Structure 1
């Protein structure tokens, strides 16, 4: 495989397997066999693009519960694929856009959450658990809509998704509040150090929960 294709495929494939726990090795291959029903979904749901389109199709297949497998084949490149329009930097960025958006918007949500927590704790002397719960609740609406429309491009009925999201948030608040109370009350952590530690532990779990439960297109 030419170096440009190899670099881009290694990066996108590795991150794809990490987030989606899939055994697919080549995420950029355009040589695919698709069912008629899934082809119709692609036509209506997948926006046309460049090399990121292959990744979008894979993500949709997994999110919709389709079986996805791979078969090794021989590849032939004419003149070392020198006429390829693939740019290992810009095209890899487009492919990884969903992951990057989730991380960036997740960080902005955490900044909002933590800022409110500090404000309530220091300026209004609110008990740390109540400050934590309040800051979480305030950031819920922001986080829900940025993930819905920007990261996962989901246009399902809003109330249905929001109710599912509330279940996730309730579970999140329960777990983080319990861990926060444990660290502060029993292990003598500073509440301002314990909260970001707890939030970091929940960050990765949130991606999988949101992707498979809240914004699933099944």
Structure 2
């Protein structure tokens, strides 16, 4: 275990954190970095008890800055002091990660140099709180749509990260719990291999010790998906509104073709609006190539939308063209998110 440093972000820790540190040292790990994330004067005594332990280094934030910032602080410390470790293992301070599972992570890191190793919990067990089970499934689905990666547990705090990957992780956005999701997306984008190790699924007192704020932290975790949804919803409403308007104007033109004309005109105008919002507000990046890529994608989706609606309208229904378009474009909306995230607005 001499090759690995254990990192523990701690905010207002209880006695379980002290017991955890003793168990980690007993297992043979010889370096532990604890970050006091602005716990306050009432917790100063706990962190002072750690100072005499030679294997433990305590880093401090004057005020609470979040788990993401605490992890970055520890990464800075390791890199600035050029500590000679092969990898770090991040652990939650609430005692819900077992030392035996940390050993599993360490062994897998030794077996797979260069891999980031994730501790994967089993959320199908009966004792798992509903919010955790639902949150994992929902986040796992969104992560798969966004990156194409299939992971069992995207929210695990038990992770083994080779030191060679710490530098690029310092520039990943996020200061609180969202940083852990952003970290996985960044690793995936850089084609760094991700591996999983099954670990025990431990929830103490229905996970009451967690500092995860359901509304605030959920917003940050799912921010990009929420913004994309709002952007898509606004563009979708604009597209449907323009489509309806053009249908009324061109309904008396040549039969059937008015649907294609209305689709094309509405999509061109709504796509200009959508491109601006997605580049500047949702993904926050994109080069000149992104404009070309966007319209290649838009042209493909437009043809799929017009062709599908036209075919279904002409062959089967003969009415309800607006409702039919809503159904078709909902499917294409999900497809568009995946392509925009992975290709159109990817970081050059």
For this structure pair, what is the TM-score category when the shorter chain's length is used for normalisation? 0.7 to 0.9
- If each structure's helix is expressed as a fraction of its own residues, which one has the higher value? 1
Conserved in 2, the CA contact under 8 Å of 1:8 and 1:88? no
Which residue number in structure 2 is paired with residue 198 of structure 1? 328
CA distance in 1, matches of 2:192, 2:301: 28
Conserved in 2, the CA contact under 8 Å of 1:9 and 1:26? no
CA distance in 1, matches of 2:205, 2:281: 39
Which residue number in structure 2 is paired with residue 142 of structure 1? 273
Structure 1 vs Structure 2 CA RMSD: 2.8
Offset of 1:117 from its aligned partner?
0.8
User: What residue ranges of structure 2 are gaps of 5+ in the alignment?
Assistant: 1-95, 98-127
> For the structure 1 residues 108 and 91, does the alpha-carbon distance in structure 2 shift closer, same or farther, using more than 3 Å as the test?
same
- TM-score (norm. length: structure 2): 0.54
Conserved in 2, the CA contact under 8 Å of 1:13 and 1:26? yes
CA distance in 2, matches of 1:78, 1:14: 21
**SS of 1:34 mapped into structure 2:** strand
CA distance in 2, matches of 1:14, 1:23: 11
Offset of 1:36 from its aligned partner?
4.8
CA distance in 2, matches of 1:62, 1:9: 24
Specify which of 184, 193, 197 is matched with residue 58 of structure 1: 184
> For the structure 1 residues 210 and 100, does the alpha-carbon distance in structure 2 shift closer, same or farther, using more than 3 Å as the test?
same
CA distance in 1, matches of 2:174, 2:302: 38
Is residue 175 of structure 1 aligned with residue 175 of structure 2? no
Is residue 107 of structure 1 aligned with residue 229 of structure 2? no
Specify which of 199, 206, 210 is matched with residue 340 of structure 2: 210
The one-character-per-residue Cα deviations of 1:97-140 (angstroms, maximum 9, x if unpaired) are 22222222211111000111111121454622111101001111
CA distance in 1, matches of 2:335, 2:200: 37
> For the structure 1 residues 38 and 214, does the alpha-carbon distance in structure 2 shift closer, same or farther, using more than 3 Å as the test?
farther
1:1-218 equivalent positions in 2, closer than 5 A = 6-7=129-130, 9-21=132-144, 22-36=149-163, 38-44=165-171, 46-74=172-200, 82-123=208-249, 125=251, 127-154=258-285, 156-157=286-287, 159-187=288-316, 188-217=318-347
- TM-score (norm. length: structure 1): 0.83
**SS of 2:194 mapped into structure 1:** coil
119-128 or 105-114, which deviates more: 119-128
**SS of 1:162 mapped into structure 2:** helix
Offset of 1:199 from its aligned partner?
0.9
- Computing the radius of gyration from Cα coordinates, the structure with the larger value is 2
**SS of 1:153 mapped into structure 2:** coil
94-103 or 53-62, which deviates more: 94-103
Which structure would you say has the larger RCO, counting Cα contacts within 8 Å and 6 or more residues apart? 1
The one-character-per-residue Cα deviations of 1:18-42 (angstroms, maximum 9, x if unpaired) are 2333342332333323345543222
Conserved in 2, the CA contact under 8 Å of 1:8 and 1:92? no
User: What residue ranges of structure 1 are gaps of 5+ in the alignment?
Assistant: none
